[in-house]
């Protein structure tokens, strides 16, 4: 006998309350009257005897106490569990999108469904785990065959990746030590390392497939934009294919592809600028349809305005590097700039600029020292040093500036303990960086590191500008965003087109990074309603070469004899007891009411 919710026993306190109510009810007002015969009709049946005896003998009280007792037992979840044993199987199904590949008229996922339906027996129990990027239990634990098959019917594999190891970890938790796990996948070779713990069931079939493995769009002029796509053939060149761009389901551009190898083919299309999504579709139809269509939403436009003062040393090198970066504008004055370079200490006019890089004045001092590229260390997470190769760079710096190490908030580049490029002041609106470099005696301007460094500075500044860093992502890719909320509710919600419920909601500041996004078109709204103002729109496309390549797929018949079932001690709640108690309580309440009423 167990109590599922022992706190419910607190309801037993109702018993003394009922007793107290009855006790005080017995203490009636009394009135002396000349006779009782006119009152015969109003007589209430009260048992004779002393007060305590009356309480004991009072039928309404007895039934009320019984009802309270049964109610307490119900609330406490009194249960005498029914024990039974059954065989238990843990099943993992590959949830990757390649399971949708249709070969020979049959889809891998359907073969998996039919295989499981033919093998699973009534009376056994199952735990069904979908191996997606973040594996999840589809049915169970210890689901019946019908429940498991129903979950399989509603299962649509769509994940860009299958995390089989994590899925095995999850499935192991539901099985016993000596039981094995049944894993159904279209790519049994990829699960070869799991053979010791799982029984593999290959349901895939090798097939050629042509896929769009990358696509993006960018604005090239005010009224034009460029769509870039990469198409790759897997498992043999199809020869000819066709890539069509659709705007509102109207074909606006078509490119015939002559694919003679499995090497990626890059396609560029110049299209009129539009704020609407553009759909790319690859034809003819092949084994996997999911990677033949891509939707591209408009790319974000976040030009970075750079201010270069006239007295900046080596200004022409700054200017060249800035103008070679995409979407940059030169600001005529600091007030209109997002990023500014300056020599020496920044003036007050630069206080409102989002990013300020203050370089040394360039005058050679007695304490000047030199760092060469191999001695300069980059901070691992620094956005300023991404793709930056400093080999061969001579970086003269003011050795006395090592005192600044105490004021450095974070160093992106440093020489031993001396920060060379570092932030020394940061507010919510702006960051001031210092570059401890003598510009008049370095070779960095003639090194490939210079435009990369300036480009990183510009892109880091761009990421700080309001909006999304990118709008067309690959499934599994993280989205950087910097949302600037308008007037109104400071709530941000994430919606996926085609779904009625919101996916996520942030009542405080929204995060800077969104992760684990599955393919689809997403909307960020200010507010939690479907009609709330739209902040940003972005799209996640499949772009998974691993899933598009159907060559490793294979069909493997499992050795189901080796599939040992776990012994499941099935403990079920005794619903007969539950309904019995419920009925008893209803009867007690009814009898208490009847006897109470019959007292009149």
Q: Please give the Cα distance from 477 to 463 (Å, whole number).
A: 16
Tell the smallest beta-carbon distance from residue 55 to other proteins (Å).
14
Q: What is the DSSP letter of 401?
A: G
Strand boundaries in 156-284, DSSP class E: 181-185, 198-203, 209-221, 224-234, 239-247, 250-259, 265-272, 278-283
* Angstrom distance (rounded) from CA 3 to CA 5: 5
Give min distance, CB of 593 to other proteins, in A.
15
Classify residue 320 by its DSSP letter: H
- Closer of 486 and 600 to other proteins (Cβ): 600
For residues 37 and 486, which CB has a smaller minimum distance to other proteins in the complex? 37
Smaller CB separation from other proteins, 58 or 199: 58
Are 463 and 487 in contact, with CB atoms under 8 Å apart?
Answer: no
- When the beta carbons of 31 and 500 are compared against other proteins, the nearer one is 31
Nearer to other proteins, 32 or 513 (CB): 32
**41 or 196, CB closer to other proteins?**
41
Q: Residue 401: exposed, middle, or buried by beta-carbon count in 10 A (0-12, 13-18, 19+)?
A: buried
Q: Give the CA distances from residue 587 to residues 114, 244, 499, 581, 598, in Å, rounded to whole numbers and listed in that order.
A: 50, 73, 47, 10, 16
Of 25 and 406, nearer to other proteins (C-beta) is: 25
Residue 329 parent element (H or E)? strand 328-330
Q: Which pair of tokens denotes residue 33?
A: 């009257």
Angle 145-153/108-119 helices, nearest 10 degrees?
Answer: 170
Pairing of the two strands 368-372 and 339-343: unpaired
CB 370 within 8 A of CB 395: yes
Kindly state the smallest distance separating residue 26's Cβ from other proteins, in Å.
8
What is the smallest separation between the CB atom of 45 and other proteins, expressed in angstroms?
Answer: 9
Smallest gap from Cβ 43 to other proteins, in A, equals: 6
- Burial of 309: CB neighbours in 10 Å, binned 0-12, 13-18, 19+: middle
Catalogue the E-assigned strands of 373-491. Answer: 376-378, 394-398, 410-415, 418-426, 431-435, 467-468, 472-474, 479-482
Q: How many CB atoms lie within 10 A of CB 56?
A: 12
Cβ distance to other proteins smaller for residue 30 or 562: 30
Cβ proximity to other proteins, 54 vs 255, nearer residue: 54
Q: Which is nearer to other proteins, 35 or 348 (CB)?
A: 35
Query: Least distance to other proteins from the beta carbon of 591, Å?
Result: 19
Task: Kindly state the smallest distance separating residue 590's Cβ from other proteins, in Å.
Answer: 20
| Binding interface with other proteins (CB under 8 A) | 25, 28-39, 41-44, 46, 600
CB of 64 vs other proteins, minimal distance in Å: 16
Minimal distance, residue 21 CB to other proteins, in Å: 12
Shortest Cβ distance from residue 571 to other proteins (Å)? 50
The residue behind tokens 């200017």 is 319
């Amino acid at each position: 006998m167990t109590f599922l919710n022992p706190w419910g026993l607190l309801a037993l306190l109702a018993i003394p309350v009922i007793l107290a109510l009855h006790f005080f009810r017995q203490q009636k007002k009394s009135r002396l009257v000349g006779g009782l015969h006119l009152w015969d009709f109003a007589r209430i049946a009260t048992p004779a005897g002393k007060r305590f005896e009356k309480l004991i003998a009072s039928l309404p009280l007895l039934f009320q106490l019984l009802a309270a007792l049964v109610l307490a037992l119900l609330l406490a979840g009194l249960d005498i569990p029914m024990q039974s044993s059954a065989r238990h199987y843990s099943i993992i199904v590959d949830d990757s999108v390649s399971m949708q590949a249709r070969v020979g008229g049959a889809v891998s996922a359907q073969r998996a469904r039919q295989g499981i339906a033919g093998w699973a027996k009534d009376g056994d129990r199952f735990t069904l785990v979908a191996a997606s990027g973040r594996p999840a239990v589809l049915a169970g634990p210890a689901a019946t065959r019908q429940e498991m098959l129903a979950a399989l019917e509603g299962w649509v594999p769509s994940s860009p990746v299958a995390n089989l190891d994590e899925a095995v970890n999850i499935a192991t938790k539901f099985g016993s030590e000596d039981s094995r796990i049944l894993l159904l996948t279209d790519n049994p070779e990829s699960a070869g390392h799991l053979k010791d713990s799982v029984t593999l069931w290959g349901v895939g079939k090798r097939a050629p497939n042509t896929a769009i493995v990358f696509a993006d769009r960018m604005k090239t002029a005010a009224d034009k934009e460029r769509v870039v796509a990469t198409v790759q053939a897997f498992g043999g060149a199809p020869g000819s294919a066709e890539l069509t761009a659709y705007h509102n389901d109207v074909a606006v551009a078509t490119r015939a592809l002559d694919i003679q190898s499995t090497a990626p083919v890059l396609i560029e299309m110049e299209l009129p600028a539009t704020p609407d999504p553009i759909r790319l579709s690859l034809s003819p139809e092949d084994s996997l349809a999911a990677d033949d269509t891509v939707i591209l939403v408009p790319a974000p436009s976040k030009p970075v305005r750079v201010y270069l003062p006239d007295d900046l040393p080596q200004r022409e090198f700054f200017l060249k590097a800035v103008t070679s970066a995409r979407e940059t504008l030169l600001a005529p004055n600091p007030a209109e700039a997002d990023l500014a370079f300056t020599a020496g200490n920044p003036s007050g006019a630069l206080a409102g600029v989002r990013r300020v890089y203050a370089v040394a004045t360039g005058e050679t001092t007695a304490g000047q020292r030199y760092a060469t590229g191999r001695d300069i260390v980059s901070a691992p997470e620094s956005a300023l040093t991404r793709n930056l190769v400093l080999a061969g760079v001579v970086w003269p710096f003011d050795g006395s500036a090592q005192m600044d190490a105490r004021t450095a908030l974070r160093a992106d580049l440093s020489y031993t303990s001396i920060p060379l490029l570092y932030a020394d002041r940061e507010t919510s609106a702006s960051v001031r960086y210092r570059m401890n470099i003598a510009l008049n005696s370095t070779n960095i301007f003639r090194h490939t590191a210079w435009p990369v460094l300036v480009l990183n500075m510009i892109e880091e500044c761009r990421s700080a500008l309001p909006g999304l860093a990118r709008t067309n992502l690959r499934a599994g890719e993280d989205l950087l965003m910097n949302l600037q909320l308008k007037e109104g509710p400071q709530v941000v919600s994430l919606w996926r087109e085609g779904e009625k419920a919101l996916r996520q909601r942030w009542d405080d500041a929204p995060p800077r990074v969104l992760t684990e996004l599955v393919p689809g078109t997403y909307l960020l709204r200010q507010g939690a309603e479907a009609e709330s103002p739209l902040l940003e729109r972005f799209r996640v496309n499949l772009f998974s070469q691993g899933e598009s390549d159907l060559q490793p797929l294979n069909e493997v018949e499992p050795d189901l004899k080796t599939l040992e079932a776990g012994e499941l001690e099935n403990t079920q709640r005794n619903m007969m007891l539950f309904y019995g108690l419920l009925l008893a309580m209803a009867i007690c309440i009814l009898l208490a009411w009847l006897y109470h009423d019959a007292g009149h």
